Chains A and B, each alone.
Chain A
Amino acid sequence: QVQLVESGGGVVQPGGSLRLSCAASGFTFSSYGMHWVRQAPGKGLEWVAFIRYDGSNKYYADFVKGRFTISRDNSKNTLYLQMNSLRAEDTAVYYCAKDGLRLAAAGYGGVDYWGQGTLVTVSS
């Protein structure tokens, strides 16, 4: 069965950096695009970023462009999110999510499977 396990969350000061990881199993990781989605405490879902199955295309929400970088290592079945210049408003649970369409050029396959999330708290 599909499993997505996020790690790397924690408390970081404003302006700091953090790298999230997502270990994937139960499917052919190298054939599917992957998303990061976040949810601030008590708020709705926000799409953050998408990376194509082969890493060749990446898309970002405007509010993270230039600060966050999505990447993947298909040899390790692992997705990453490098977060720099963190702000208080980046405080959220960050979910790793699998795109629903095999070998899709972009994220129009939507999301079919979700991880359980990792909490990032930006606070001094």
Chain B
Amino acid sequence: QTVVTQEPSLTVSPGGTVTLTCASSTGAVTSGYYPNWFQQKPGQAPRALIYSTSNKHSWTPARFSGSLLGGKAALTLSGVQPEDEAEYYCLLYYGGALIFGGGTKLTVL
């Protein structure tokens, strides 16, 4: 059974930088997994942030960026704002099926 792993929780200060990662139990994450990143706030539907590793949607703030880092997919927030406090999920493609990571709860404190 394939598992996608994210940090359960991270804390960052306003204005700081934080990197969230997404690992696959099958090995290194590559661009062929087409990593996607989503933000979800309590009581709301998820919102797409990043697709195909590093591409931003038209509504994605510039402070969000995606990359591959040390065999994992990564989401970096630079200049964190209080409104970035949320749950973040990655999504990986496995040749047909897709699997979400367990999510990272980001606290801005």
Contacts and interface: CB of A to CB of B under 8 A. Distances in A.
For chain B, give the interface size range.
Answer: 20 to 34
- The binding surface of chain B is classed by DSSP as strand
Interface of A: 35, 37, 44-47, 50, 59-62, 95, 100, 106-117
A110 B46 contact: no
Contacts of B52: 110
24 contacts: A37-B100, A44-B89, A44-B102, A45-B38, A45-B40, A45-B46, A45-B89, A45-B91, A45-B103, A47-B98, A50-B98, A62-B1, A95-B46, A100-B51, A106-B93, A106-B95, A107-B93, A109-B34, A110-B36, A111-B36, A112-B48, A114-B45, A114-B46, A116-B45
A108 B93 CA distance: 6
B48 A46 contact: no
Interface of B: 1, 34, 36, 38, 40, 45-48, 51-52, 57, 87, 89, 91, 93, 95-103
B100 A111 contact: no
- The binding surface of chain A is classed by DSSP as strand
Contacts of B100: 37, 44-47
A68 B81 CA distance: 41
B47 A114 contact: yes
Given A45-B89, A47-B100, A50-B98, 9 more contacts: A44-B103, A45-B91, A47-B98, A62-B1, A110-B34, A110-B91, A111-B36, A114-B46, A115-B45
